[in-house]
Structure 1
């Protein structure tokens, strides 16, 4: 299995966190199951080799070769029975209004196809990404496409964008009322504007980001769950376990053991 990330061009860095690639060989007669977790950022996904099916489907989303995995508070499971290659574009949630001209909250928890979001241009982008000779060419293709989207839509990076980015930067450890007052907005005004850009209320978004910070402790297996909970801003271990189960489907002990389903890429 191979997993790596690529920095975006500087002109995209306000909206694109990074590009990533995941490739793996799957032996004939075997299957690989991947689990996505709750995430405060969105992703554009291109399956250029192999195709996953979703397990435990309880939504009306259909899984396509090129999709937007919007910011979500749910975990989902996918299965593939062949070798695969995926190119991803990890976006700040406010990139959705910038690139797709809609509030982030419209697509929260969903996986719309890029052709549904972008029409013919989405289908053309999908075909180019699938036919690219390598991932270096995919980086160039998607960078050109996203820069064109920015030029067409000319989005403005505002103080509210910085607020969302700030919650990510401080790993969700924020007092929402204090944050709202720092922007001279009533809690209701702040929540409405924040949700348009992040996809969720500030309180829910902070919980998801705090959970994501806990996931990043995977490489520190020597730490106790109590230490991880404390460092990630949880009041107590039971609160930490509750959020972790809700957002991942795992007890944190199972996840940090390295034996959980769909986390093999983290050991690469």
Structure 2
């Protein structure tokens, strides 16, 4: 089943790309979670369960989960009937709503109760009582807006990070930290620091993940050869492309391409 997509209110549009709902009609195992370049807040709104495998670590998905940036092979096992409501934050934005640096969540599935040092059972139960997805999202938005109001001091730096992220994304297949620092008249060291605090990965890490996601789209489309895809996405050569792809996905581009062809 294709995921359902919902878009945020005007207040939250600068920070949230969209909400989406994942429903597993049957049990699924070894579902690959590809790096996306986004942090997510996932709420299990069902009686189902999921287990996430982060490299060699295994953990059960909490009811209220912060899923940080992924740059290691990650898979998930999901029981039949599991429904998850997911908030996908823009790269610069998740830390605005959280007290911890974004780097604390990288390659981790974290219980939001532990992050906020608060008992969020009331919020969760109220959310579960809402009869429709739209009403659940309305309550979720009220929760996020309250968090936003409490963290105004982060907004100026977050706007700078947003501009840096957009510049990296617009840079195509090339990345140069020195040029980025010169353009914004700030030090390379400061850029590295605010990226770890607000994004959770380094500027080059974000560039690499975005390059990977572009290559993943092309591999899934299977409309070009792997050599052409690697060249188009700016990898040095095919060996570099395959090595970096596998470091993120745990699979080679050819394996993903064949899996997509089986689905068709």
Pair in the same fold by TM > 0.5: yes
1:234 corresponding residue in structure 2? 235
Q: Taking structure 1 as the reference length, what is the TM-score of the superposition?
A: 0.86
> What do residues 22-60 of structure 1 show as CA deviations (whole Å, max 9, x unaligned)?
11311xxx6444221233210011121211123477337
Distance 1:22 1:186 in 2: 41
Of 72-81 and 115-124, deviating more is 115-124
Q: CA deviation at 1:91?
A: 0.8
Question: Pairwise CA RMSD of aligned residues?
Answer: 2.5
Matched pairs, number: 260
Q: What SS is found at the alignment partner of 1:204?
A: helix
> What do residues 6-29 of structure 1 show as CA deviations (whole Å, max 9, x unaligned)?
221122122111111111311xxx
8 Å CA contact retained: 1:173, 1:210: no
1:85 corresponding residue in structure 2? 83
Q: 1:116 aligns with which of 114, 119, 144?
A: 114
Change (3 A) 1:177 1:123: farther
Change (3 A) 1:197 1:55: closer
Q: What SS is found at the alignment partner of 1:87?
A: strand
2:147 corresponding residue in structure 1? 149
Query: For structure 2, which runs of at least 5 residues remain unmatched after alignment?
Result: none
Change (3 A) 1:55 1:136: same
Of 244-253 and 184-193, deviating more is 184-193
8 Å CA contact retained: 2:99, 2:116: no
Q: Taking structure 2 as the reference length, what is the TM-score of the superposition?
A: 0.87
Distance 2:127 2:179 in 1: 44
Q: CA deviation at 1:249?
A: 0.6
Query: For structure 1, which runs of at least 5 residues remain unmatched after alignment?
Result: none
Distance 1:230 1:187 in 2: 28
Q: What SS is found at the alignment partner of 1:82?
A: coil
Q: CA deviation at 1:93?
A: 3.4
Distance 1:170 1:55 in 2: 33
Distance 2:224 2:135 in 1: 40
Change (3 A) 1:19 1:8: same
Q: For 1:104-183, list aligned pairs within 5 A.
A: 104-120=102-118, 122-154=120-152, 155-157=154-156, 158-168=159-169, 170=171, 173-183=174-184
1:244 aligns with 2:241: no
Runs of 4 or more consecutive aligned structure 1 residues displaced over 6 Å after TM superposition: none
